[in-house]
Structures are given as structure tokens and as C-alpha cells.
């Protein structure tokens, strides 16, 4: 190579989130044993101990990537150190004209003998470290460059549902916090309805593996050390079905539906005050998400008179005012979901300006510009897309990425204070966490610096999370996440998950399938399986997530095979005289084999579930799975005895009946 060629800067590898202002230079820095990581300002009164944690993250990250063991040292000056890495806070960056740099911004400068990481504050310094670690190659070389970077949105986070099925272990929540930090996410919410151990109300959460105060305090401190705000999140109006199912609280239900607490009952606020008094003091965050979404029966029962007195939307606003005051006693600013507010736009001027509104919708096609009304009225708000993983065996990947991008775009245009990417667990949280990782990373990308080139993002994500520099793992996320069409659609979920638990006897979802669509899915899924297995052998980390992906693929294949056999079973029940005995016996053997396969999938699910979560409500999911297997065996016996019984009527899939049919799988 000519000297001129050696002086040409090489392009930087793709990074996630992509920096706002990267500039490659000629040359590189070579890491070697014992090179010092010099913290300037150590030992002064202004020293933040989190800088030590950030330095340790850099040291351990470098050791993991190239094996070099660096030293962490404090230095008043860095002349004469030889090759070294400097960590320092920079008044120039914190006073920059660009607000994105002032807000958690950083500068990263890599030369042949020195690396400087300068942060507008301690968080910016941590983000500089995370970027630097993505530049380290296996030989310990870091390309020379200068990067000036900072976030588009002030708050960037994830909400994980820890109530409706799975309660994560402390270790897995620590890993999630570390994952947030690596993606420059600075907010985490753990959506809680009842899975917290309340000493004054021990029956709430009993037998559901509840998180306790000691765990929350530990996680709060762990997150704060990594510049992640662990925001307390406790449902406070609708979605209270578990609490209201308990005899001690049944009288607080708005209606017999047992879904929403009644604002007219004085005991409602006594209960909420008790819960807040135990829950909120465990968090240092100044925010509190009280949720208050989807109160379907509010004002229709015990509070009907109050609802008429306050007028449309007024009862809701009064409830929010009262819980806001309860949270204020703990120094918290209240956040609520925006769905009820949008339902009563005429009341928006009455909303307290110290609330933060969380606007959400999870399908790609939507009017995202509706947040303009919040901006126009001077209300602070966040945009809240989703991973599209709930009610799925594997996320609806394209829907999720479009949903995230469109919400992020609206948030940037109308002045959102942040973006929270939601990962729900509707109807038992059957979805496995690793399958959401790509959507988590895309949310981080969009909220940090906006959209990125898909090819570059895929490579950066795959290398960061799995040690795969080719981008193959991301391509697998996209490929498996595109396979959801068996011939009918379902709102807010994948038909294949509904098929997985569907009773072959009622065959509500089975009979809506199309054989051609199923066979196409079968072919494409079979081609994907060896690719996932090959990726698992080549990646250096993230193996559990790949095991979760492989399980999702096999469960999806099972759903396809079950639907194909189920269509034949329905055909036999409709016209049994056309079937010969050997044909019936062959189909019966297939159904028995499917029942055995589903039991095997249940064993795999248990292992994967317990790798990240406590036992929680695993038995509920297992019972749904076993119910499906029992119905497959019963169908096989009916075939062997040639007793078809009444054929199921043909009916189109609609949302209401789909939910009813799904709920039957819990019986």
C-alpha cells in the first residue's frame, strides 16, 4: 500500500445509534496491555463516582472485545503518559450552541497516541464510551476519528410489562438496564398492575412472583449509576382486574366487569394512597407513570351520578387530579396515557400543565399528527410506539419499525420531550424478550438521531448485540418477523399465535386459514431454520436471544402444521363419507404427533421463560398449551372411531369474537 493510501481515512463501521456528526481520519489507535484510562478531576469535590463506573465499563468492554487489560488511573494532567485514553467533563460541550450537545452530548477524538472522551456531563461521557466500544475491533485497533454527538430527544426509553404473565429476575432486569445504557437509552419503566409486594396489602401480587422494595431499590441505584431513570409505573384506574378480583377490593369496582376502580368510592383513594406510600419511595425519579388508560366502564356503574355531574371526560380529569395530588406528596410529577384525553378534546384546556401525556397507538397506519393538539395547548408529551411483540410468537417486525419511525418523526416535529418504546404482555406475556431486541435498538436509533440506513443499522445492531459483523442476525429478525399471514388478519397481534393455542375442535382460527398461504409459510420457515442455527454457531454473544428466536420459529412452524392438519380435520367433519379409513388413521397419527410436539415446545418454553423470568404465571400459559394438545388428541380419537360430530360453522374472524375465542383458551 502506498503512503498516500495509508493516509486516507477509512470509513467508520456502522454504529447504533448512528452519531449525528461522525468524521473519519487517517490512522488508528492500537490498544495494548496496561494503557491507562485517565480520569481527570478524580479526587476533587466535583468528582462524580459514576465516572469510575463509566471507566470500569470501558475497561471491561475493551477486555471483552480484544482481550487487552487497561488500567484506570486518576490524573491531574495527561502529558507524558504515552498512549492513553482520557475521560473528562467538558464545559465547552455543555455550553455548546447546539442543544443536542448540551443535552447528554459528547465529543470523541481518536488519534494515533491519544483518545479523548469529553462529555457535556457524566451521562454524555458514558455515551462516548459506548460509541468508542463499538469502534474497537478484535485486534484492538480503533480508527482515528472525531465524533460530535448528542440526542434529538431528551428522554429515550423502554417500557416492559412485568404484570401480565412474566416477572423478570433481578439479574435479567440488570441486563436490560445495561442494554439500555449501551443504546444510549436513559429511561426504563416496568409496567405494574399488581406484581409488587405490598406489606399493607399482601394479597395483591401473592403467588405471582412479585418484585419487592429491596429489589426495586437495588435496580433504581443500578440504573442511576448507568444514567437510566427507573420511572415508577403503577396502574391507577383501568386494567385493575387482578386487584378487583380479590374479595377485599371487589367493592371498589366501577361495575361487575371488575376492570376500573370507582372514583365515587372513598376507599379507592385510601387504597391508592396506601399503594403509592409503599411503592413510590423506592424510586429517585422525579416522574411517576400512573397509566390511567382504557377505563372502559368508567362512570357506568357506581360513579354514574358523578359522571353526569362532571360531564363527558370530567370524571376522568377529577380522578387524575386526585392521584396527581397523591403523587405530589412523594415529589413526583405524574404521567398518564393520552387515549382518554383524545376522546374528549374539548376538555384539553382544563388539563393541568404539570402532567406529562403519553400518546400511543401500535399499528403502522395511524394519524400520528394528533400530538399537535398537545403542543398547541402547551402540554408536555412523549410519543410511545411498540415492539409489536405481544399476542405474537415473534414480533410483527415491519409494523413495529414503521410505528416507531412515524411516532419518532411526529415527536421531533411537534416537540415531544421523549420516546418510550413499549413491550406489552397482553394475555399472558407469551412473547420472549430477546425477540424484541431489534425494535428496542430501532427505537434508540430514532430517538437519538433519527432514521438510519437499514443496511448500516442492521450491521451495527448485529455486531453490538451478537458480535455478528455481517448483519445476518438482523436479517433473520426481519425475515422471521415478516411471516404472519395464514390467510386472515388479526388486530394488534399475529394470527399464528392465536392458531398456536386454538382448539382444533372449535377451530375458530383454523378454519379461517388458506392452504396456499400456509404452505408458503411452511416453505419459508423451513428455509430460515438452518440460517438461525448457523448464526448461533458463529455469534460470540446473545445466544439466549437466538435460542428464543429458534423457539419462535419452531412454534410458528407448529402453528402452520396444526392449521394444515386442522383444515383437513374440518373437511372430514363436514363430509365424513368422502374419507377412507386409512386416510382418517393417517390424519389421526399426524394430530397425535402434533400434540407430542406441542408438549415438547412447552418444555422448551419453560426453560427459556426461566432463563430471564421468575415462575410468575408460567402455569397459566402451560395450561393453555396443554389444552390445545388435549384437543388434538381428542380429535385423533374421533377420527379413529369415525365420529365426526357437528361440523363448525364458517364465520369470518372479527375482533370481538377473536378475543372471546382467545379467552376460552384460558378455561
Specify the pLDDT at position 251. 98
478-664 to CATH, choices 1.20.120.670, 2.60.200.20, 3.40.50.2300, 1.10.10.10: 1.20.120.670
Q: What's the whole-model pTM score? A: 0.97
| Radius of gyration, CA atoms only, the chain | 27
Specify the pLDDT at position 42. 61
Q: Which residue has the cell 437495588?
A: 218
Specify the pLDDT at position 2. 52
Residue range 12-149 forms a domain whose CATH class is: alpha beta
Q: What residues are paired with 188 via a beta bridge? A: 158, 230
Interacting residues of 63 by C-beta distance below 8 A, sequence separation 6+:
69, 70
| β-bridge pairing 71-75 and 21-30 | unpaired
> What are the domain boundaries of the chain?
12-149, 478-664
Give the cell for residue 14.
456502522
Spatial separation of the C-alpha atoms in residues 361 and 338, rounded to whole Å: 10
Helix axes 618-641, 581-612, angle to 10 degrees: 170
Spatial separation of the C-alpha atoms in residues 634 and 638, rounded to whole Å: 6
Q: Is-contact 194 205, C-beta < 8 A?
A: yes
Which helix (H) or strand (E) element contains residue 663? helix 655-664
Specify the pLDDT at position 4. 47
Interacting residues of 650 by C-beta distance below 8 A, sequence separation 6+:
511
The mean pLDDT values, 10 residues at a time, for the chain of 667 residues are 63 96 97 96 70 97 97 92 96 86 93 97 97 97 98 98 96 98 98 98 97 98 98 98 98 98 97 98 98 98 98 98 98 98 97 97 98 98 98 98 98 98 96 98 98 97 97 98 97 97 95 97 98 95 98 98 98 96 98 98 98 96 96 98 91 89 90
Q: How far from 95 is each of 147, 150, 401, 458, CA to CA, in Å?
A: 17, 13, 34, 34
The one-character DSSP state at 110 is E
The one-character DSSP state at 67 is -
Tally the residues of the chain.
Answer: 667
Specify the pLDDT at position 464. 98
**Helix intervals (H) in 539-580:** 543-574
Specify the pLDDT at position 667. 84
Specify the pLDDT at position 103. 84
Spatial separation of the C-alpha atoms in residues 653 and 320, rounded to whole Å: 37
Residue from 147, 151, 148, 134 nearest 186 by CA: 151
Amino acid at each position: 500500500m502506498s503512503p498516500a493510501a495509508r493516509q486516507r481515512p477509512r470509513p467508520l463501521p456502522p454504529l447504533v445509534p448512528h452519531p449525528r456528526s461522525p468524521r473519519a481520519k487517517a490512522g488508528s489507535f492500537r490498544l495494548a496491555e496496561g494503557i491507562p484510562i485517565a480520569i481527570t478531576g478524580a479526587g476533587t469535590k466535583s468528582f462524580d463516582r459514576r465516572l469510575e463506573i463509566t471507566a470500569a465499563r470501558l475497561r471491561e468492554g475493551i477486555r471483552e472485545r480484544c482481550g487487552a487489560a487497561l488500567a484506570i488511573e486518576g490524573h491531574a494532567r495527561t502529558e507524558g503518559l504515552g498512549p492513553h485514553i482520557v475521560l473528562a467533563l467538558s464545559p465547552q460541550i455543555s455550553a455548546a450552541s447546539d442543544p443536542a450537545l448540551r443535552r447528554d452530548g459528547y465529543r470523541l477524538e481518536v488519534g494515533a497516541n491519544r483518545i479523548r472522551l469529553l462529555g457535556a456531563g457524566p451521562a454524555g461521557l458514558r455515551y462516548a464510551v459506548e460509541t468508542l466500544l463499538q469502534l474497537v475491533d478484535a485486534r484492538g485497533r480503533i480508527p482515528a476519528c472525531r465524533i460530535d454527538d448528542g440526542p434529538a430527544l431528551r428522554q429515550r426509553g423502554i417500557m416492559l410489562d412485568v404484570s401480565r404473565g412474566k416477572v423478570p429476575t433481578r439479574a435479567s432486569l440488570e441486563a436490560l438496564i445495561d442494554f439500555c445504557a449501551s443504546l444510549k437509552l436513559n429511561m426504563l419503566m416496568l409496567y405494574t398492575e399488581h406484581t409488587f409486594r405490598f406489606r399493607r396489602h399482601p394479597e395483591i401480587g401473592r403467588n405471582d412472583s412479585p418484585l419487592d422494595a429491596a429489589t426495586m431499590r437495588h435496580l433504581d441505584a443500578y440504573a442511576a449509576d448507568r444514567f437510566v431513570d427507573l420511572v415508577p409505573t403503577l396502574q391507577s384506574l383501568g386494567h385493575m382486574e387482578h386487584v378487583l378480583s380479590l374479595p377485599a377490593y371487589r367493592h371498589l369496582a366501577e361495575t361487575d366487569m371488575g376492570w376500573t376502580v370507582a372514583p365515587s368510592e372513598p376507599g379507592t383513594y385510601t387504597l391508592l394512597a396506601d399503594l403509592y406510600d409503599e411503592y413510590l419511595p423506592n424510586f429517585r425519579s422525579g416522574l411517576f407513570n400512573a397509566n390511567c388508560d382504557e377505563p372502559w366502564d368508567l362512570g357506568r356503574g357506581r360513579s354514574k351520578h358523578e359522571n353526569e355531574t362532571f360531564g363527558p371526560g370530567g370524571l376522568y380529569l377529577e380522578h387524575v387530579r386526585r392521584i396527581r395530588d397523591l403523587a405530589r406528596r412523594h415529589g413526583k410529577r405524574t404521567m398518564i396515557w393520552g387515549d382518554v384525553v383524545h376522546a374528549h378534546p374539548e376538555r384539553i384546556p382544563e388539563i393541568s400543565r404539570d402532567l406529562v401525556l403519553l400518546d400511543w397507538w401500535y399499528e403502522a397506519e395511524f394519524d400520528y399528527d394528533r400530538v399537535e393538539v398537545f403542543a398547541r395547548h402547551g402540554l408536555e408529551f412523549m410519543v410511545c410506539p411498540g415492539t409489536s411483540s405481544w399476542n405474537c410468537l415473534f414480533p410483527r417486525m415491519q409494523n413495529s419499525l414503521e410505528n416507531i419511525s412515524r411516532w419518532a418523526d411526529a415527536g421531533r416535529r411537534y416537540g415531544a420531550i421523549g420516546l418510550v418504546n413499549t413491550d406489552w404482555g397482553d394475555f399472558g406475556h407469551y412473547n420472549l424478550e430477546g425477540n424484541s431486541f431489534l425494535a428496542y435498538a430501532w427505537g434508540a436509533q430514532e430517538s437519538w438521531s433519527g432514521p438510519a440506513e437499514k443496511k448500516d443499522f442492521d450491521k451495527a445492531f448485529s455486531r453490538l448485540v451478537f458480535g455478528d459483523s455481517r448483519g445476518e442476525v438482523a436479517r433473520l429478525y426481519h425475515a422471521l418477523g415478516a411471516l404472519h399471514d395464514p390467510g386472515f388478519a388479526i388486530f394488534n397481534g399475529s394470527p399464528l399465535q392465536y392458531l398456536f393455542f386454538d382448539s382444533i375442535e372449535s377451530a375458530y382460527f383454523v378454519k379461517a386459514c388458506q392452504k396456499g398461504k400456509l404452505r408458503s409459510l411452511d416453505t419459508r420457515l423451513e428455509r430460515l431454520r438452518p440460517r438461525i442455527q448457523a448464526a448461533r454457531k458463529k455469534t460470540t454473544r446473545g445466544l439466549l436471544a437466538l435460542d428464543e428466536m429458534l423457539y419462535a420459529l419452531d412454534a410458528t412452524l407448529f402453528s402452520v402444521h396444526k392449521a394444515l392438519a386442522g383444515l383437513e380435520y374440518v373437511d372430514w367433519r363436514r363430509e365424513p363419507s368422502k374419507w377412507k379409513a386409512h386416510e382418517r388413521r393417517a390424519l389421526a397419527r399426524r394430530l397425535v404427533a402434533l400434540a407430542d410436539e406441542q408438549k415438547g415446545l412447552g418444555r422448551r418454553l419453560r426453560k427459556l421463560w426461566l432463563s430471564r423470568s421468575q415462575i410468575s404465571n408460567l402455569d397459566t400459559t402451560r395450561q393453555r398449551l396443554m389444552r390445545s394438545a388435549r384437543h388434538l388428541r381428542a380429535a385423533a380419537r374421533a377420527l379413529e372411531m369415525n365420529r365426526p360430530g357437528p361440523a363448525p360453522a364458517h364465520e369470518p374472524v372479527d375482533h370481538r369474537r377473536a378475543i372471546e375465542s382467545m379467552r376460552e383458551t384460558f378455561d
